[in-house]
């Protein structure tokens, strides 16, 4: 069965959802530009949500830097960010995630998992397409007594029990995508053993509560979408429409990372490059301009159509 995602009958609500775990690079700006253009060309609304769930990896200074970088590029938003207050920072939304986790728990879908990383790697289970092992179910059917015993020495992560079901949907850019949850994804973590909520739960809850109807993000998350569609169904939420945009790769064949200085936005900015030059380059990579001429995001709105956006990976020379 293909899950029908949101039909764009009314103006879309989109979002910019950066993870402030470092400074932004051109790849982050590339997906942000496309998310922005998609919403602005349809007269919709944009929300800025800071995905700072992991306190060890995310810093408030990087949240502020992301906002400053978006502003510098000319990408604005209507709701959220620092002006929206604490509600738009995932690190402040733990009680909300707890509430929805509890709903899943009541449905019998949650179980504690005591496995260590080492155990999981040793279990020689099949791997997901992103290279992470599919959970082999070691803690799936522990008795209450076993759970009590193990909890004495280790605080568990919480996993959700996925059904043996194939979830499919039509991505706005990549087309038809299907995944069998049991075989290709496996039971996944919703709360880590240190109490930090997982991205998969937070993103589903936030997109729903923030009224998001359109999700534009990097293709690395295409693989996460079936489990998010399924969680939305279990929690009684509507499904947004999804567009997964190509990732940017360096000439060495690796994805751009936050550690590479030459593609770091703050460094590009400090070198005196104009924001229009960056936007022109991004738009050219996206297939929206023939040549990388300097341009402001607002000037691209009129001609923006998803049919013009390339699907293949972009290699940054």
Give whichever of 1 and 86 is closer to ligand GLU, judged by the CB atom: 86
> What is the smallest separation between the CB atom of 98 and ligand GLU, expressed in angstroms?
20
> What is the smallest separation between the CB atom of 103 and ligand GLU, expressed in angstroms?
21
Rounded CA separation 148/255 (Å): 43
> What is the smallest separation between the CB atom of 231 and ligand GLU, expressed in angstroms?
13
> What is the smallest separation between the CB atom of 245 and ligand GLU, expressed in angstroms?
10
Among residues 59, 107, 152, 258, the one annotated as catalytic is 258
Give whichever of 77 and 114 is closer to ligand GLU, judged by the CB atom: 77
Residues near ligand GLU (CB under 6 A): 17-19, 51, 203, 217, 221
Cβ atoms of 212 and 240 closer than 8 Å: yes
Give whichever of 57 and 121 is closer to ligand GLU, judged by the CB atom: 57
> What is the smallest separation between the CB atom of 31 and ligand GLU, expressed in angstroms?
8
Give whichever of 27 and 275 is closer to ligand GLU, judged by the CB atom: 27
Rounded CA separation 266/130 (Å): 29
Q: Nearest-CA neighbor of 229 among 203, 198, 209?
A: 203
Question: Which residue is closest to ligand GLU by CB?
Answer: 217
What would the DSSP string read from start to end of 103-129?
A: HHHHTT-EEEE---HHHHHHT---B-T
Q: Nearest-CA neighbor of 121 among 111, 132, 108, 112?
A: 132
Rounded CA separation 180/168 (Å): 9
Give whichever of 90 and 281 is closer to ligand GLU, judged by the CB atom: 90
Cβ atoms of 79 and 46 closer than 8 Å: yes
Rounded CA separation 310/317 (Å): 17
E strand or H helix that includes residue 81: helix 81-84
Angle between helices 225-235 and 199-209 (to 10 degrees): 60
Angle between helices 199-209 and 94-106 (to 10 degrees): 100
Q: Check if 258 is active-site.
A: yes
Both structure tokens of 252: 């060495």
167 by DSSP, 3-state: which? Answer: strand
> What is the smallest separation between the CB atom of 79 and ligand GLU, expressed in angstroms?
16
Give whichever of 19 and 281 is closer to ligand GLU, judged by the CB atom: 19
Active site residues: 258
């Amino acid at each position: 069965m293909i899950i029908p995602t949101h039909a764009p009958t009314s103006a879309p609500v989109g979002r910019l959802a950066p993870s402030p775990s470092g400074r932004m690079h051109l790849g982050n700006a590339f997906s942000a530009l496309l998310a922005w253009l998609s919403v602005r060309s349809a007269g919709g609304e944009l929300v800025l949500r800071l995905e700072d769930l992991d306190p060890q990896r995310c810093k408030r200074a990087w949240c502020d830097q992301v906002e400053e970088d978006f502003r510098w590029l000319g990408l604005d938003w209507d709701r959220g960010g620092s002006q929206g207050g604490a509600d738009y920072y995932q690190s402040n939304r733990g009680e909300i995630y707890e509430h929805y986790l509890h709903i899943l728990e009541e449905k019998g879908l949650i179980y504690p998992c005591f496995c260590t990383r080492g155990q999981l790697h040793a279990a020689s289970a099949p791997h997901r397409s992103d290279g992470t092992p599919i959970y082999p179910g070691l803690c799936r059917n522990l008795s209450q007594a076993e759970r009590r015993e193990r909890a004495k020495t280790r605080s568990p992560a919480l996993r959700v029990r996925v059904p043996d079901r194939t979830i499919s949907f039509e991505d706005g850019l990549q087309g038809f995508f299907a995944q069998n949850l049991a075989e290709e994804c496996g039971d996944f973590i919703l709360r880590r053993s240190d109490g930090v909520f997982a991205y998969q739960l937070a993103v589903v809850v936030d997109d729903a509560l923030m009224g998001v109807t359109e999700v534009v993000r990097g293709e690395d998350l295409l693989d996460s979408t079936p489990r998010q569609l399924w969680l939305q169904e279990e929690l009684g939420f509507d499904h947004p429409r999804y567009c997964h945009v190509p990732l940017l790769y360096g000439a060495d064949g690796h994805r751009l990372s936050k550690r590479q200085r030459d593609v770091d936005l703050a460094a590009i900015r400090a070198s005196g490059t104009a924001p229009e030059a960056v936007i022109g380059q991004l738009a050219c990579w996206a297939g929206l301009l023939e040549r990388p001429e300097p341009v402001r995001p607002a000037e691209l709105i009129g001609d923006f159509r998803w049919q013009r956006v390339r699907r293949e990976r972009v290699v940054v020379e």
